[in-house]
Chain A
Amino acid sequence: QKEVEQDPGPLSVPEGAIVSLNCTYSNSAFQYFMWYRQYSRKGPELLMYTYSSGNKEDGRFTAQVDKSSKYISLFIRDSQPSDSATYLCAMSSYSSASKIIFGSGTRLSIRP
């Protein structure tokens, strides 16, 4: 079993829809949680970062962490075609980027 599981998609939704992206994990020691966005042929871009359970909001993006269920989510409101990308969840049990475990990524497509 992988430490981090993420549905690869692809996920296709109409413009304006609310998008829900999810990851599950098995290591209860994970305490740092991140979401990255990666456009085709580009490097991953850090979108959201949190180290606690609950919700964190940034503009149209909300990251949710449920440590009891070992489940994290990223919600995108009012989705735009420019949100079309691969979204990677990532997490770590240590305060070091060398210990980050990445999900395999979900390909998201927003239809105009």
Chain B
Amino acid sequence: EAGVTQSPTHLIKTRGQQATLRCSPISGHTSVYWYQQALGLGLQFLLWYDEGEERNRGNFPPRFSGRQFPNYSSELNVNALELEDSALYLCASSYGTANTEAFFGQGTRLTVV
């Protein structure tokens, strides 16, 4: 069974540009979570999607947004990129909403220059 898959693996953008990151959850999982893992800051919760709806967001500015498609895959968009947005962006999925067992993908390494 395939795990959580993310694309692209690496992404290099210049300041001010937009980045789009993609995630496919484990088959049967309806919830998708996005986390930012910046050096020295640990994992920070970004967004949670379930059944196509945004259920919760972390303490990040509105230029971080996303969506979930009918097949439960998800997209994270980061607008007006800043140098501090350089990080590993991790997607996780879980079965249902009342579940703390989340399974992570390999991440997308975003570098803003």
Contacts and interface: CB of A to CB of B under 8 A. Distances in A.
Contact of B100 (A34, A44, A103, A104): A34
Contacts of B103: 46
Contacts, number: 65
Chain B interface helix/strand/loop/mixed: strand
Interface residues of A, number: 24
A49 B101 CA distance: 7
A102 interface: yes
Given A97-B31, A97-B33, A44 B104 contact: yes
Chain A interface helix/strand/loop/mixed: mixed
A98 interface: yes
Contacts of B107: 42-43
Given A98-B33, A98-B45, A32 B100 contact: yes
14 contacts: A36-B104, A43-B90, A46-B103, A46-B104, A49-B100, A88-B43, A92-B100, A96-B48, A97-B92, A97-B101, A98-B45, A99-B45, A100-B102, A104-B41
